[in-house]
Amino acid sequence: MALLNILQYPDERLHTVAQPVAKIDERIRTLVKDMAETMYEARGIGLAATQINVHERVVVMDLSENQDELRVFINPTITHKEGDTTYEEGCLSVPGIYETVHRAEKITVEAFDEQGKPFTLDADGLLAICIQHELDHLMGKVFVEYLSSLKQTRIKAKLKKRAREAL
């Protein structure tokens, strides 16, 4: 397994729309393992392939305390949304920034697991929020883009300043 580089907002590659996975094979299973290791190492709860500059529809997620309940979504599609909720979200691609985002309260998602088996999942709470957040990445959208243009400008400036100071 390998740790992968996570793209940082406002990197333009985060706006690339991911393509469907054509074949779930050993290459995809290796990608899933590497993404999971990267997510765990970064102390995240979700990671989309877009965030590591792989533009295929693959998401890994683990909301458990012990990091032992990995969920894999390949070619995921939200087929139903219901209700409205808000949650203070963060993102591995936007480190240290947390903002309140409006999302659907309940969703249904259809996807394939890493073995190629199709499944349907009804989700609410943090799981529903996380799925919506990660699927946005696959569509080339970062959570801060739900915010006002003023907030987006401030966040970009803050992250660029951090990057300069890190050199």
Q: Which residues are catalytic?
A: 134
What is the bridge-based pairing of β-strands 46-48 and 58-61? Answer: antiparallel
Q: Phi then psi for 11, rounded to 5 degrees? A: -50, 125
Say how far apart CA 29 and CA 152 lie, in whole Å.
Answer: 35
Q: How far apart are the first and last CA of the chain?
A: 28
Say how far apart CA 21 and CA 138 lie, in whole Å.
Answer: 12
Considering only CA atoms, which of 9, 24, 58, 10 is closest in space to residue 38? Answer: 58
For residue 13, CA distances in Å to 17, 46, 55, 144 come to 9, 18, 9, 15
Q: What are the structure tokens assigned to 30, written together?
A: 């290796």
- Output the CA angle 46-141-40, nearest 5 degrees: 15
